[in-house]
Chains A and B, each alone.
Chain A
Amino acid sequence: MEFSEHIKTANVEDVVLRRPFHPPMQGTLCVTGHHLLFSNRDGDSSRLVLLLLRNIDAIEKRPSGSSGTITLKCKDLCVLQLDIPGMEECLNIARSIEYLSSLDIVSDMYPFFYRPLKLSLQDQWGLSSAEQNYAQMEELQDRWRLSHVNKDYSVCPSYPPAVIVPHSIDDETLVKVAKFRQGGRFPVLCYYHRKNGMVIMRSSQPLTGANRKRCREDELLLQAVIDGSGLGYIIDTRSNQQAQQARMTGGGFESKSSYSCWKRLHRQLERGKVLQESLIKLVEACGDHSHSVDRWLSKLENSKWLSHVHTALATAGLLAECVERDGHSVLVHGSEGTDTTLLVSSLAQLILDPKTRTLAGFLGLLEREWLLAGHPFQQRCAHSAYSHARLRLEAPVFVLLLDCVWQLARQFPLAMGFSEPLLLRLAMEVYASDYGTFLCNSDQERCAAGVKERTHCLFQFLLKPSERERYSNPLYEPTELAIWPSVQPQSLQLWRGLFLRWTQHAVHLEKAQEELRNLVIECRGAS
């Protein structure tokens, strides 16, 4: 594609840029295929501001006399303003931004053009393969096997080529089970608890439908999971009523009569539009500085964001409790099994598994449980909280995950090897990135688009020594214990670092973080 077709005015002089924490700045604005470039020469020093167009969520233009003002609301929640002399230039630039910020074709996106000197496309893409993961977990190998039934993505388009399933279940059976689960997402292992051999499985809903259809193979697979231990739990991330209703549209749940050894627990987690609107309301509340404390609290409450955080953490806690304290295996799913299912299963792993709490371990968890497990990032993160576009499939499930992880880290400030800046960076990268990691909706799509050959991998980059330093937690003291979060409302807080990031308030807190890092480094240096 020729981007230049969409750039009528590439350069404008004497533009004024207004952004948080900086005095207004006058200079030259330049539009390229993927960036807004703002530069000003102030005597000898020149300053450059580079904004990825993909980061722009909403654009508002306002004429004033012969000039115009463009307000850019970004997906990282920053709001910028450009005062552009010349109405025509202003409109041209606005049009370019509108078009170029919402490109649909993956290969047109910036990660395919990003070629920094210090990175090579030959570098490894991704952190580890399913084979490596499986090989590392020797304890589970006598009961669990690595299946390549999905090697050409034909059984389940949103699954990776290799998955872990019970040894006794052959590929043929898996194919049949896949037909009984929405989107072919048959139950697979996502976590093995070394302490007692119990596992967390995840899947999509069974397609029992109105006629209460059964699937012998599906029942067999689940039976094989609890083989010997007698009882398993199914955590359904929908309410009982929602699960009942799902039968009308061909979905459903595991009935007691067909799955007698499984006990179903329902916990309603919101997703989709409800979650997206919650984020929009929260960001709106945070952006309005005029109101009173009462109004603020009422808006905060009304956004329901913290309620979603609460439910997600509480459900993950329940799941972890089933595995660790009650000693049972758990299957978790909602409907498609690509959103709240992943949210709950990955949070439970953070609670239980010390390996996922290191920087590399956490990124590995995200790779396994979100990228390979088929969370549709491109659909979910097409727009963020400011967009006026009609909502389609957007939902900040991943942001909710990051928020929950932040809450865990607040309650266990020594237990995580990574720090808040990492979570903030991920919250930004997931919406607009130089890297290809969060492109597309599944592993299959990423392979088809050549993401792994033609873009750089964010996770690999974050693990380079220079970055690792920046994103590690200076207080990290590994613990082998499970970290049980408190989910009392008093214990959960608004994530100020993210939602109030562009206020003075966040600056003071950031300074304190810096001080803390210096202090620890200083002390460590001395000893």
Chain B
Amino acid sequence: MEHIRLPKVEKVRLIDKISSRRASVGTLYLTATHTIFVENETEIRTETWVLHSLVCSVEKQATTTTGSPLLVHCKNYQALRFIIPQERDCHDVHVSLLRLSRPARYEELYCFSFHANSDKEVRGQAWDFLSLKAEYSRMGVPNHLWNLSPVNRDYKVSDTYPAELYVPKSATHPVIVGSSKFRSRGRFPTLSYYCKENHAAICRSSQPLSGFSARCLEDEQMLEAIVRSNPRSDFMYVVDTRPKLNAMANRAAGKGYENEDNYSNIKFQFIGIENIHVMRNSLQKMLEVSEAWSPSMSEFLEGLESSGWLKHIKAVLDAGIFIAKAVAEDSVSVLVHCSDGWDRTAQVCSVASVLLDPYYRTLKGLMVLIERDWVSFGHKFSHRYNHLDGDPKEVSPVIDQFLECVWQLSEQFPCAFEYNERFLITIQNHIYSCQYGNFIGNNQKERTELRHQEKTHSLWTYLWENRTDHINPLYRPDHSQTQGVLRPVTAPYCFKFWRALYNRFDRGMHPRQSVIDYLMAVREETQQLEEQLVSHEECYPP
């Protein structure tokens, strides 16, 4: 509370972006967790709540005769323009919000105060809702080819990896440790997805520390072990998701990529997905277009094109398709890496999983997938999504791109996904909001140290309890689109601007009537009638 200079400002105006003519007058409140705007004109006092942790920028603009404008941009793509009558008040709100939206320590995050007093036991049980062990066992491991390795139990081999990792049975302890020393941050090749039907696997790692000529026998043996754990194929793909130029530049720093001559039975492949800095700038450019005030059609399309955003989305999806094809059609295992193996690698592995396995197109499946490929494998949530006041160069919409790939797929296969667009948007929102403890910190080790399971709530339980809001009524487990591997068309025209996310709060832009809501209502009505019928029959047996 010490950061709030001014808890309440009256006669503030909130400007509607689409029709800037419309403004609502009300009172602005600053609390420890939220900025709240309460409209005072209307009979129903509309309230706008903005979580401090969702604020990504606060900008004070030049004072005009009507007051001092304060522009608040949020990480969930909400943008608010307040006009505050007194410049001094505006200044105070500005300074307070700047501080409130940039916590310095994890303990200040919202998840530690959100429903902090609820029953500890219930909260703990809620975290058991998803179990990665169950997920690996669903995929069919451990088995005679893969086993659970205790090597990273204390996060000693790699502090950014999870404690439980699955490796080929033939990979011995020294091979694993040796390989990990030859990989950035110790992130040795380990199992991400296993295809029960044909034994092909998707493995992931960081880049090898090969420089211009370095070799590592254990690393070579590690890859050989992966090849051997797939009886259907005598080679594997090694996919470097970086543009070749970037990977080559890394060699100068003693990093780099696998030399095909040193590794027996690998086929090496570059897939040029750009790095986090390119993606951050691309998103920024796209947001400039989507936030523009009433652009012409040409300005919009030109801006969308020059942002390059959809091109990057296509690159991620294309990479996923390459891997899914190798696994499903050729029964070949794939090792995926980028530089550190926690951004592009996570994107590509999880997109491939969604394409390969209908399970990840269900509500629970997507949660498990994010838990596995992102949370457990040390995707740096706190850095990428700016949870704490940190280096802005570390920020990048990496998981946003994954969620968008899933959305693009669901647009192409409207019957294949159990969840709807709202589910993806809610997840996006909470990755940034820090309301739940799932995504705090940058890896499992940090989260465990923060005792997140004791002190915070899990998003997954919340989503599961509210699953009716997130169901796609067109989904049917036995529909032809639902079955087997998804084979999307990747012609450029298939990639669309995701209005529901990037213009989420511009309500006037969205369809005024919702097909999903309608179908859900129809379905609910039918269910009620059926239930009534059943109870009726119970009372009056025929």
Which positions in A face B, CB cutoff 8 Å?
A: 286, 289, 291-298, 300-301, 304, 306-307, 309-310, 410-415, 475, 477, 483-484, 486, 488-494, 496, 500, 503-505, 508-509, 511-512, 515-516, 519-520, 523-524, 526-527
Contacts of A411 in B (CB 8 A): 511-513
**Are B474 and A489 in touch, CB under 8 angstroms?**
no
Whole-angstrom distance from the CB of B516 to the nearest CB of chain A? 10
Q: Which residues of B contact A301 (CB under 8 A)?
A: 297-298, 301-302, 305
List residues of B (280-316) whose CB comes within 8 Å of A's CBs: 290, 294-302, 304-305, 308, 310-311, 314
Residues of A contacting B62 in the complex (Cβ-Cβ under 8 angstroms): none
Please name 22 pairs of A and B residues whose Cβ atoms are closer than 8 Å in the assembled complex, sorted by A. Answer: A291-B492, A294-B311, A297-B304, A306-B297, A306-B301, A310-B296, A412-B511, A413-B514, A413-B515, A489-B297, A489-B300, A490-B290, A490-B497, A490-B503, A491-B510, A493-B496, A494-B493, A505-B494, A519-B522, A526-B529, A526-B530, A527-B529
* Least CB separation from A479: chain B residue: B513
Contacts between chains A and B (CB distance < 8 A), count: 144
- Contacts A412-B512, A512-B414; A293 near B301 (Cβ below 8 A): no
Question: Is B474's CB under 8 angstroms from A519's CB?
Answer: yes
The distance from the CB of A492 to the nearest CB of chain B, in whole angstroms, is 7
Whose C-beta in chain B lies nearest to the C-beta of A296? B492
B369 CB contacts on chain A under 8 angstroms: none
A496 to B479, CA, bound (A): 22
The answer to whether A515 and B415 touch across the interface, beta carbons within 8 angstroms, is yes
Check A293–B310 contact: CB distance below 8 A: yes
**Which residues B492-514 have CB closer than 8 A to chain A?**
492-497, 499, 503, 506, 508-514
A488 to B512, CA, bound (A): 14
- Expressed in whole angstroms, the Cα–Cα distance for A360 and B221 within the complex equals 73
- CB pair A294–B525 under 8 Å, yes or no, is no
Tell me the bound Cα distance from A286 to B508 in angstroms. Answer: 29
Which of B473, B492, B494, B518 counts the most A-chain CB atoms under 10 A from its CB? B492
Asked if B173 is at the interface (CB within 8 A of a chain A CB), the reply is no
Give CA–CA (A492, B294) in the complex, Å.
13
The answer to whether residues A509 and B414 also contact, given A294-B305, A490-B499, A519-B519 and a CB cut-off of 8 A, is yes
Query: Do A516 and B474 have beta carbons less than 8 Å apart?
Result: yes
Q: Contacts A475-B518, A508-B414, A511-B415 known; list 18 others, CB within 8 Å.
A: A292-B311, A294-B308, A294-B311, A296-B493, A297-B310, A300-B493, A310-B297, A488-B506, A490-B497, A490-B509, A504-B489, A505-B491, A508-B481, A511-B481, A512-B481, A516-B515, A516-B519, A526-B529
Among residues of A, the one whose C-beta sits closest to the C-beta of B416 is: A508
Q: Is there an interface contact between A527 and B525, defined as CB atoms closer than 8 Å? A: yes
| B476 within 8 Å of A (CB atoms) | yes
Residue contact B414 to A523, C-beta cutoff 8 Å = no
Residue in A296, A306, A492, A496 with the greatest tally of chain B CB atoms within 10 Å: A296
Residues of B contacting A304 with CB < 8 Å?
297-298
Min CB distance B39 to A, Å, is 22
B301 touches A297 (CB 8 A): yes
Least CB distance from A482 to B in Å reads 11
* Known A-B contacts A292-B311, A293-B311, A515-B479; A503 and B530 likewise in contact (beta carbons under 8 Å): no
Point out the residue from A294, A300, A492, A515 that lies within 8 Å of B474, measured CB to CB.
A515
Q: Is B18 engaged at the interface, CB distance under 8 Å to the other chain?
A: yes
Give the residues in chain B near A309, CB-CB below 8 Å: 297
- A520 lies within 8 A of B491 (CB): no
CB neighbours of A294 from chain B (8 A): 305, 308, 311
Pick the residue among A415, A490, A508 that contacts B300 (CB under 8 A): A490
Q: At the interface, yes or no: B267 with Cβ under 8 Å from chain A?
A: no
Chain A residues with Cβ below 8 Å from B290 are 490
| B121 vs chain A, min Cβ distance (A) | 41
> In the complex, what distance in Å separates the CA atom of A293 from the CA atom of B301?
12
The minimal Cβ–Cβ distance linking B486 to chain A, given in whole angstroms, is 10
Q: What 7 pairs across the A-B complex have the smallest Cβ distances?
A: A296-B492, A489-B300, A512-B414, A301-B301, A297-B305, A307-B297, A293-B311
A373 to chain B, nearest CB (A): 28
B413 on the A face (CB < 8 A): yes
Which residues 434-488 of B have a CB within 8 angstroms of A?
473-474, 476, 479-481
Question: In the complex the two chains form, what is the Cα distance from A411 to B512 in whole Å?
Answer: 6
Cα of A486 to Cα of B499 in the assembled complex, Å: 13
Decide if B523 is an interface residue (CB 8 Å cutoff): yes
Residue B526 at the A interface, CB < 8 A?
Answer: yes
* B295 closest partner in A (C-beta): A489
Bound complex: CA A105 to CA B492 (Å): 42
The residues of B that contact A293 with a CB separation of less than 8 Å are 305, 310-311, 314, 492, 495
Chain B: minimal CB distance from A279 (Å): 16
Q: Does B259 touch A at the CB level, under 8 Å?
A: no
Mark out the residues of chain B between 304 and 331 whose CB falls within 8 Å of any chain A CB in the assembled complex: 304-305, 308, 310-311, 314
Bound CA–CA A515/B300 (angstroms)? 33
The distance from the CB of B535 to the nearest CB of chain A, in whole angstroms, is 16
Return chain A residues, CB-CB under 8 Å to B264.
none
- Residues of chain A within 8 A of B495, CB atoms compared: 293
Q: Determine if B40 is an interface residue (Cβ-Cβ < 8 Å).
A: no
Q: Give chain B residues whose Cβ lies under 8 Å from the Cβ of A515.
A: 414-415, 474, 476, 479
Would you call A491 and B509 a contact (CB within 8 A)?
yes
A483 to B412, CA, bound (A): 28
Question: In the complex, which residue of chain A has the Cβ closest to the Cβ of B511?
Answer: A411
Across the interface, B296 reaches (CB within 8 A) one of A291, A489, A493, A511, namely A489
Is A414's CB under 8 angstroms from B518's CB?
yes
User: In the complex, A509 Cα to B413 Cα: how many Å?
Assistant: 7
Other-chain contact of A298, B297, B305, B413 (Cβ < 8 Å): B305
A306-B297, A505-B412, A505-B494 given as contacts; is B489 within 8 A of A523 (CB)?
no
Chain B residue with the shortest CB-CB distance to A289: B491
Point out the residue from A413, A477, A486, A500 that lies within 8 Å of B493, measured CB to CB.
Answer: A500
Q: Whole-angstrom distance from the CB of A342 to the nearest CB of chain B?
A: 22
Mark each residue of chain B from 516 to 542: 1 if its CB lies under 8 Å from any CB of chain A, else 0. 001100110110011000000000000
Chain B proximity of A502: nearest CB distance (Å) = 12
Q: Chain A residues near B499: list those with CB within 8 A.
A: 490-491
Chain B nearest Cβ from A42, distance in angstroms: 24
Residues of A within 8 A of B476 (CB): 515
Q: Which residues of A contact B305 (CB under 8 A)?
A: 293-294, 297-298, 301
**Pair A307/B515 contact, Cβ less than 8 Å:** no
- The complex places the Cα of A294 from the Cα of B522 at a distance, in Å, of 41
Find chain B residues with CB under 8 A from A300 CB: 301, 493
A520 near B522 (CB under 8 angstroms)? Answer: yes
Whether A488 contacts B515 in the complex (CB less than 8 A), given A504-B489, A516-B474, comes out as: no
Asked if residues A483 and B518 are in contact (CB atoms below 8 Å), the reply is: no
Residue from B299, B489, B512 whose CB has the most chain A CB atoms within 10 Å: B512
In the assembled complex, the CB of A501 is this many whole angstroms from the nearest CB of chain B, namely: 12
Q: How far, in Å, is B488 (CB) from chain A's closest CB?
A: 9
| CB closest residue in chain A, given B487 | A504
